[in-house]
Amino acid sequence: MSVIIATDDLELTCPHCNGEKLEIINEERVTCSKCDGKGVILTALGQTLLHFFKKHT
Amino acid sequence: MDHSTGNDYIVIKAEENGVQVIGLTRGQDTRFHHTEKLDKGEVMIAQFTTHTSAIKIRGKAKLITKHGEIESE
């Protein structure tokens, strides 16, 4: 049995900055406050895999 | 008013593919800390916790809360 995991199953584009990692506040481009400048938000599966790899590397 | 955080939950049923459920942090900053993608027909039951004070739904979905039913588009 093979399991295929799509990127969408791991992370979704930040809806606040649309993946731009930046937002405009007072006409200044600053790090997106909603995703901390990552541009994406992890899913539960994404966080589980990330923690697993961090634990075993 | 009920201020408890651990026992309130909502039911989300996706009515199209790619519905996004986004959890927002409790506290001064409301950041997105978690997201989940639901495909058509999938159901998610999400609880308000010490970490999550708000839930944002993007896409067409049916929501059931203690306040009643609502549909997102």
pLDDT tens column, A36-57: 999 999 999 999 999 999 999 9
- Cβ-nearest to A14 among B30, B32, B36: B32
Q: How many pairs of residues across A and B have Cβ atoms under 8 Å apart?
A: 37
Chain B CB contacts of A35 under 8 Å are 31-32
pLDDT of residue A2: 81
pLDDT of B42-61, one tens digit each? 999 999 999 999 999 999 99
Residue B63 has pLDDT above 70, yes or no: yes
pLDDT of residue B2: 52
Q: How far apart (Å, rounded) are the C-alpha atoms in residues A29 and A22?
A: 6
Identify residue B29 by its one-letter amino acid code: D
* Interacting residues of A17 by C-beta distance below 8 A, sequence separation 6+: A23, A32, A34, A35, A39
Contact B6, B26 (CB under 8 A): no
Q: Which A-chain residues 7-46 have CB contacts (< 8 A) with chain B?
A: 8-9, 11-12, 14-16, 33-36, 41-44
Of A8, A15, A34, the CB nearest to B31: A34
Q: Tell me, what's the pLDDT at B5?
A: 60
**Distance from A3 to chain B by nearest Cα, in Å?**
17
As a whole number, the mean pLDDT across chain A is 94
Residue B26 CA to its chain's centroid (Å): 14
Distance CA A20, CA B17 (A): 24
Residues of B in contact with A11 (CB under 8 A): 35
